[in-house]
Structure 1
Amino acid sequence: MSEPREAHLPEEAAGQRLDAALAQLFPEYSRSQLTQWLKEGALRVDGASPRPRTPVRGGERVELIAPDAPVLAAQPEAIALDVLYEDAAVLVINKPAGLVAHPAAGHRDGTLVNALLHHAPELAQLPRAGVVHRLDKDTTGLMVVARTPEAQTALVRQLQARSVHREYRALVQGRVISGATIEEPIGRHPVDRKRQAVTGGGKPAVTHYRVAERFPAHTLLNVRLETGRTHQIRVHMAHIRHPIVGDLTYGGRPRPVKGMGEAAKATVAAFKRQALHAARLEFEHPTSGEPCAFEAPLPEDFEGLLAALRADARETGDA
């Protein structure tokens, strides 16, 4: 256990919900974490454990005995990381295809978390080793990782407030006429629990997309996430019948394209992952408050796929 901390709720907090006032008093912790400690008795207000929604009077004495963060069971592994930026508060990495974010059934090692623990051993003291948002195993591109509890809480709050800007490149099947916004709720698939789906009982999900480049039977899109649901871009693109190239989970096998040259057909068929790349990431630095912006170029296999489609479009006169 950490040393007990005592503080008083400010008088100007009068009338606020207790959980909101506590989040302002202890900004290094998330509101959900503080609420959990209230329920467990690790956080007491005037010697009691009131409900999170209890109105604050102002001036109450608060005592916090925060349990030590659990040490991750994952082991450090010398896995190469493409680190684009790092300081005492954050790491920004360019994740390759094939790298799972967290250890789980079937992926106990060889994950991003294992690599992070080798690169920065102190991350073992943070939930999820500081990872605040995920990319699917075969999605490439930018991720930000927190290095301190304060940074992790600040970044999670930015994600919840939808102030983190995330832009992706996605190659989809079919010719998309124009950009648009998809606003459809996403939740667990009613039959296949390993998949997500657009469903009335799901959580709100908003995806903005615009056309970057068109090919005879494919379209390269710039996609911006407003929310961050599991598999959101993949599910939304499949929902509008423009699944991402290579996404067998949501798009099925590639559609045969009449008139496409054999070289382009072979390149598309050989692309064995979803053609999705997190290309740009913007957030507010959790310590300095300064705006941060990062970009990651498309990986070689994605660039090769686009090159084959461009060459085919020139040869067929549809460039």
Structure 2
Amino acid sequence: MKEIVIGKNEIDKRLDGFLKAYLPNASMGFIYKMLRKKNITLNGKKASGTEKLSFDDKICIFFADETLDKFRGISSEVINDLKDTNNNSNNEKKSIGIASQSYITSYKKIGSLNIIYENQDVLFVDKPAGLLSQKSTYKDNSLNDWLIGYLLEKGDITPAELDTYKPSICNRLDRNTSGLVICAKSLYGARVMNKMLKDRSLHKYYRTIVTGRITDSSSLKGFLYKDEKKNKVFVKKTDPQDDRYSYIETEYTPVKYYEDSDMTLLEVKLITGKPHQIRAHLQSIGHPIIGDVKYGGKPIKGLNYQLLHSYKLVLPDNLDKELGDISGKEFICQLPDTFEKLIGKG
């Protein structure tokens, strides 16, 4: 039997919607059947599924562990691998649970990261180049896992709370793009941040170094298509009348030109946010990013990735009082050493 206690992040959700999210591999028909048979109960009573959840409500699921894992989408391979990875006789670790311990393990493997700002709902962190934003396989370490492990270690969340809500990143950076990432600690934080990202009231700025001299600010518009098999995008300046292509817009301003090496430091503002957008858009105008060989960038000895850094975040000034501490604020994530070594401190 699994008991779930409803916390602040689940208040006002419908029971059936909550159960579908919790048991993604179960059909709605199966969920309703389990409710009718009282194999799933709400506060010890039969429920229809239409009930709105309140704080401290208790949902009991009377499934065998293997059945629960199956409907939650947790394979036996993952469970056995986590058991082997986290095998320890320490009672405290056992009480934490296998999945929670895996987050803590990822957090410790990745180590301390530079937290730009944190409150009860959001966290802005500096992601180093080379770290995945989200894992590709369950064996990967990612920033998302680091976030959950960090909050578990800090005591901001409990293993039980992870059953119903998992803190997560709101904007993804390419593996080798560094810099500021927005993380949501609470459901409220996730809703507000994702809304601002969608309506573009939150402004994201990047810094990068490109080949050649750029003297004027400009706005680039075009259409982008991603070839998933090649993991590469293609940009056209005019609408190709092809549903695979999405509209993109990128603004940039030159910061400094380095005559000796014929390179320009740019500040780039993302208007839309598509995969590889900045990299491909700059290549399309003949100014590829240094180190970005996939998109025509100049190779640099000792550098095997693109020099692209999520540099600045500017928030609107009309946020609710819960996020009043960041309303209208600007957050900057300083350039990493790889930039400084190439262009110096000046």
8 Å CA contact 1:209–1:223 kept in 2: the answer is yes
8 Å CA contact 2:289–2:297 kept in 1: the answer is no
8 Å CA contact 1:183–1:207 kept in 2: the answer is yes
Kindly state the Cα deviation for residue 225 of structure 1 after the two structures are TM-superposed.
0.6
Structure 2 segments unaligned to the other structure (5+ residues) = 22-26, 30-49, 62-71, 75-98
Kindly state the Cα deviation for residue 196 of structure 1 after the two structures are TM-superposed.
1.6
Change (3 A) 1:28 1:279: farther
Change (3 A) 1:103 1:181: same
Kindly state the Cα deviation for residue 252 of structure 1 after the two structures are TM-superposed.
4.9
2:113 corresponds to 1:81: yes
Structure-2 separation of matches of 1:303 and 1:71 = 45
Match of 2:254 among 189, 195, 211: 211
Aligned to 1:152: 190
Query: Which amino acid in 2 is paired with 1:159?
Result: L
Q: Give deviations 1:85-135, integer Å, cap 9, x for gaps.
A: 111101111111111111114x73321122112111338457773211011
8 Å CA contact 1:244–1:274 kept in 2: the answer is yes
Q: What pairs up with 1:206-245 in 2 under 5 angstroms?
A: 206-216=249-259, 217-245=262-290
Kindly state the Cα deviation for residue 64 of structure 1 after the two structures are TM-superposed.
4.7
8 Å CA contact 2:12–2:53 kept in 1: the answer is no
Match of 2:323 among 288, 298, 301: 288
Once the two structures are overlaid, the 10-residue window that deviates more, 159-168 or 76-85, is 76-85
SS at match of 1:168: strand
Match of 1:278 among 298, 307, 310: 310
8 Å CA contact 1:82–1:94 kept in 2: the answer is yes
8 Å CA contact 2:148–2:166 kept in 1: the answer is no
Change (3 A) 1:75 1:304: same
8 Å CA contact 2:290–2:297 kept in 1: the answer is no
Structure-1 separation of matches of 2:329 and 2:164 = 22
Aligned to 1:301: 338
Q: What pairs up with 1:242-261 in 2 under 5 angstroms?
A: 242-254=287-299
Kindly state the Cα deviation for residue 274 of structure 1 after the two structures are TM-superposed.
0.9
Structure-1 separation of matches of 2:164 and 2:128 = 23
Q: Give deviations 1:243-300, integer Å, cap 9, x for gaps.
A: 100012212553xxxxxxxxxxxxx332222111111112255633422321111111
Q: What pairs up with 1:101-116 in 2 under 5 angstroms?
A: 101-105=133-137, 108-116=139-147
Q: Give deviations 1:53-73, integer Å, cap 9, x for gaps.
A: xxxxxxxxx8556999x7996
Structure-2 separation of matches of 1:292 and 1:28 = 31
Query: Which amino acid in 1 is paired with 2:329?
Result: C
SS at match of 1:152: helix
Kindly state the Cα deviation for residue 179 of structure 1 after the two structures are TM-superposed.
1.7
Structure-1 separation of matches of 2:201 and 2:118 = 21
Match of 2:151 among 120, 123, 131: 120
Structure-1 separation of matches of 2:332 and 2:179 = 9
Query: Which amino acid in 2 is paired with 1:151?
Result: G
Q: What pairs up with 1:8-23 in 2 under 5 angstroms?
A: none
Structure-2 separation of matches of 1:27 and 1:174 = 54
Structure 1 segments unaligned to the other structure (5+ residues) = 5-25, 42-61, 255-267, 311-319
Kindly state the Cα deviation for residue 172 of structure 1 after the two structures are TM-superposed.
0.5
Query: Which amino acid in 2 is paired with 1:210?
Result: T
Match of 1:92 among 107, 114, 124: 124
Query: Which amino acid in 1 is paired with 2:196?
Result: Q
Structure-2 separation of matches of 1:150 and 1:111 = 23
Change (3 A) 1:298 1:253: closer
Structure-2 separation of matches of 1:194 and 1:128 = 28
Query: Which amino acid in 2 is paired with 1:244?
Result: I
8 Å CA contact 1:101–1:137 kept in 2: the answer is yes
Change (3 A) 1:28 1:207: farther
Match of 1:194 among 214, 231, 239: 231
Query: Which amino acid in 2 is paired with 1:307?
Result: G
Q: Give deviations 1:161-198, integer Å, cap 9, x for gaps.
A: 001111111100111242211111222138x5411221
Structure-2 separation of matches of 1:273 and 1:91 = 26
User: What is the TM-score when the length of structure 1 is the normalising length?
Assistant: 0.67
Change (3 A) 1:3 1:85: closer
